[in-house]
A = this chain, B = another copy of it.
Amino acid sequence: MTARKPPVNSYHHGSLAPALIAAAEQELSQAGIESFSLRAVAKRAGVSHGAPAHHFDGKNGLLTALAAEGYRRLIDAQNERQKKAQPDPLSQLIASGSGYLDFAMQNQELFRLMLASSLPDRDNEHFSAVSMAAFDKLAVEIRNVLGTDPYTDRVAMTQVMASWSMVHGLAELIISGRTKMPMDFTQMPAAQRDAIFEDILLRALKTN
């Protein structure tokens, strides 16, 4: 239960696991998912090529842990936006979506790993817990807007799916560079971008 001792020699690192996660994130953002290499991560962390497998049970295990960490930071990014927004339910929902887009644009490869890749093990305990927490967050926000609980009301759950689809689709199109030609959001003043995002995200709501 006590904290790990600091590294005292060159053989035993002391706390390799978090160091490997950090190295993996650097490697992921620079090399991309498709050419992500376990051995490159090991080299980056200064350990032998077999070390990561011992801590994370293989490549998929490391990517699963990294993706779980990503979900925590996705929720952080959403909370960050919501703190600056008006407290009414609708503003909070829009802010949540804006945070989703912030995270996607600032962590493109990590976002793709979390949501568009089949490499992470979705049955993993930590991963499914934190990804369900992200989903729950949206469900609560929708409930606050509509006044009905998505988990019991089918109309509200359809609203959840619509909102999620909209924000997720927009994120995917942006980070894959597919919006560059029609309207390049990444080269746009933040205020203008936010306004368009809000316009688009609001459409997912069926309030009548």
Interface string of A155-198 (1 = CB under 8 A from B): 00110111011111111110011110011000000000000100
With a CB–CB cut-off of 8 A, which chain B residues contact A115? 172, 176, 178
Chain B residue nearest in CB terms to A183: B157
Cα–Cα distance between A166 and B170 once the two chains are bound (Å): 7
Contact of A203 with B200 in the complex, beta carbons under 8 Å: no
A118: Cβ under 8 A from any B Cβ: yes
With a CB–CB cut-off of 8 A, which chain B residues contact A182? 135, 150, 157, 160-161
With a CB–CB cut-off of 8 A, which chain B residues contact A129? none
Considering only CB atoms and an 8 Å cut-off, how many residues of chain A contact the other chain? Answer: 41
A81: Cβ under 8 A from any B Cβ: no
Q: Tell me how far the C-beta of A42 lies from the nearest C-beta in chain B, rounded to whole angstroms.
A: 20
Within 8 A of B (CB), among A105-154: 112, 115-119, 122, 135, 150, 154
Contact of A179 with B161 in the complex, beta carbons under 8 Å: yes
- Selected from B118, B150, B169, the residue in CB contact (under 8 A) with A166 is B169
- Selected from B117, B122, B165, B203, the residue in CB contact (under 8 A) with A170 is B165
Contact of A161 with B200 in the complex, beta carbons under 8 Å: yes
Q: Tell me how far the C-beta of A101 lies from the nearest C-beta in chain B, rounded to whole angstroms.
A: 11
Cα–Cα distance between A118 and B196 once the two chains are bound (Å): 26
A61: Cβ under 8 A from any B Cβ: no
With a CB–CB cut-off of 8 A, which chain B residues contact A203? 162, 166, 203-206
- Selected from B135, B150, B166, B176, the residue in CB contact (under 8 A) with A162 is B166
Chain B residue nearest in CB terms to A182: B157
Chain B residue nearest in CB terms to A160: B182
A57: Cβ under 8 A from any B Cβ: no
Q: Tell me how far the C-beta of A184 lies from the nearest C-beta in chain B, rounded to whole angstroms.
A: 11
- Selected from B118, B169, B196, the residue in CB contact (under 8 A) with A164 is B169
With a CB–CB cut-off of 8 A, which chain B residues contact A164? 169, 173
* Residue contacts A-B, CB under 8 angstroms, 7 given: A32-B118, A34-B118, A116-B172, A135-B182, A157-B183, A169-B171, A203-B205
